[in-house]
Amino acid sequence: MLRLPRTFLPTSYAAQLAIDPAVAGFDGTVAITGTLAERAQVIWLHGHGLQVTRAVASQSGTEVALTATQHGDELLAFRAQAPLAAGTWTLTIAYKGAYDERNTSGVFKQTVAGAPYIYTQFEALYARRAFPCFDEPDSKVPWQLTLDVPAKLVAVSNTPIQRERAIAGGKKRIEFAQTKPLPSYLVAFGVGPFDVVGAGKTRGGKPVRVLTLQGRAAEAAYAAKTSAPLIDLLEELFGSPYPYEKMDMLSIPITVGFGAMENAGLITYTETLMLIDPKRASREREYRWISVAAHEIAHQWFGNLVTMAWWDDIWLNEGFANWVGRKIAARFEPSWHEERAEVGQRNEALEADSLVSARQIRQPIAVPDDILNVFDGITYNKGASVLNMFEGYVGSDVFQRGVRAYLAQHTFRNATSTDFAAAISAAAGKDVGPAFATFLEQPGTPELTATLVCDQGA
């Protein structure tokens, strides 16, 4: 099953997890409120490696027991003894999960200098390893997260802490504020003995922090100095304020398959990107940080504020972040000559596009593995190059108006390539949709031929 049935659609989540890095796994309870479109006896959710211990559906004070059954590795079926009536229901599911100690997906554990840390990485298909959920990008709803953690540890998530209190067993319960509407892959948390470094506020007053591995706060100085200014530059470019309550930058010791992840309000970076020893700092390290940070922060608008409706449009996230990230890096430090990197990015895209195996930017998703395969140079580099080309075609000011309109029209919702082309077309006063489609819906690039003609007397 590539996509879940749309019979039950969540409208909010409230999840409580007991996270202790010193033990092997975690306990969780999630309450999923949603709408059942029609009478149904089975509700399908995503779930991987979770042991469900109890599940009930409740409506207007009435509880109905549900039996959970695993189907394959990724799906959970919750069956009632009799069909549930259409309407609003809350599914309350208690379960147990395990930390991944060999990879960096789902809820994973890493140990540094004897101290264990817990992190999450949910893009693209891994939120289902932390909670039973509707793990698809067009299911974009508010989440409220509560973590029970050892009292001496620091816990962080997408939103600020709303309430904190001591509980039994040397633990504390931390309730985070409800998020803005988010797809499951952008939910995140971290637990560990982090050092917390204040990084000031944005011009709009949003607090920024850097969380490092224990004892490495001094290496966060450059990230702390530059993060809020990068957010300010993006606000100017997009003409809209940073959309979340705060920004935390969280360092991860080692990652596999990603260098950073744009979780809303909680971006994770591998330590080699974010932490720079002041005694060994180089312009190359600083440039690398600014380039990646600009890309990830740009996602807070493209990908987070406005999310692609399905994975075939992931280029709307990654191509945009590459395109915008280079603009911001150039504004931050013109002496870096970011236009050279832009040419290199285009050439890499052309090279990849010349291969027999080249694919189109909007690649149809036929099986789940196709989702993982779209995170490649075609999506990132060709996507960014196509945007750069169309910006030149319609003009920078017109393109910027279209981008701003697109963000305004789809705030905290989902959108498609068609929606984006429509916004640019409206700003340009002409339909650029068909031209966009020729670059998005087929591999390769147009072949141009030139003939030199020497006219008599020329």
Mark whether 351 is an active-site residue. no
Work out the pLDDT band at 231, boundaries 50, 70, 90.
Answer: very high
pLDDT value of position 333: 85
Averaged pLDDT for residues 185-209: 98
Helix/strand/coil (H, E, C) string of the chain? CCCCCCCEEEEEEEEEEECCCCCCEEEEEEEEEEEECCCEEEEEEECCCCEEEEEEEEECCEEEECEEEEECCCEEEEEEEEEECCEEEEEEEEEEEECECCCCCEEEEEEECCEEEEEEECCCCCHHHCCCECCCCCCCECEEEEEEEECCCEEEECCCEEEEEEECCCEEEEEECCCCCECHHHCCEEEECCEEEEEEECCCCCEEEEEECCCCHHHHHHHHHHHHHHHHHHHHHHCCCCCCCCEEEEEECCCCCCCEECCCCEEEEEHHHHCCCHHHCCHHHHHHHHHHHHHHHHCCCECCCEEECCHHHCHHHHHHHHHHHHHHHHHHCHHHCHHHHHHHHHHHHHHHHCCCCCCCCCCCCCCHHHHHHCCCHHHHHHHHHHHHHHHHHHCHHHHHHHHHHHHHHCCCEEECHHHHHHHHHHHHCCCCHHHHHHHHCCCCCCCCCCCCCCCCCC
Distance CA 320, CA 337 (A): 20
- Please compute, for residue 196, the number of CA atoms within 13 A of its CA located in the half-sphere on the CB side: 15
Work out the pLDDT band at 70, boundaries 50, 70, 90.
Answer: very high
Averaged pLDDT for residues 59-77: 95
**Does pLDDT of 338 surpass 80?**
no
For the chain, give the mean pLDDT: 93
**Does pLDDT of 353 surpass 80?**
no
Averaged pLDDT for residues 257-277: 94
Distance CA 61, CA 349 (A): 57
**Does pLDDT of 391 surpass 80?**
yes
Catalytic residue among 175, 262, 296, 391: 296
CATH superfamily of 306-440: Neutral Protease Domain 2 (1.10.390.10)
Crossing angle between the packed helical segments 417-428 and 433-440, to the nearest 10 degrees: 140
Q: Residue ranges of the domains in the chain?
A: 1-190, 306-440
Averaged pLDDT for residues 359-366: 89
What share of the chain in percent tops pLDDT 90?
79
Are residues 29 and 133 in contact, defined by beta-carbon separation less than 8 angstroms? no
pLDDT value of position 457: 64
User: What residue has token string 């039996």?
Assistant: 67
pTM of the predicted structure, to 2 decimals: 0.94
pLDDT value of position 357: 65
Distance CA 100, CA 97 (A): 10
**Does pLDDT of 221 surpass 90?**
yes
Averaged pLDDT for residues 47-68: 96
- For residue 280, count CB atoms less than 10 angstroms from its CB and return exposed for 0-12, middle for 13-18, buried for 19 or more: exposed
Averaged pLDDT for residues 61-69: 95
Averaged pLDDT for residues 49-57: 98
pLDDT value of position 356: 61
Q: What is the pLDDT of residues 71-107, one digit of tens each?
A: 999 999 999 999 999 999 999 999 999 999 999 999 9
**Does pLDDT of 32 surpass 70?**
yes
CATH hierarchy code of domain 1-190? 2.60.40.1730
Q: What is the pLDDT of residues 129-176, one digit of tens each?
A: 999 999 999 999 999 999 999 999 999 999 999 999 999 999 999 999
Are residues 315 and 361 in contact, defined by beta-carbon separation less than 8 angstroms? yes
Lowest mean pLDDT among 33-42, 110-119, 344-353, 366-375: 344-353
Q: What is the pLDDT of residues 405-450, one digit of tens each?
A: 999 999 999 999 999 999 999 999 999 999 999 999 988 878 788 8
pLDDT value of position 63: 94
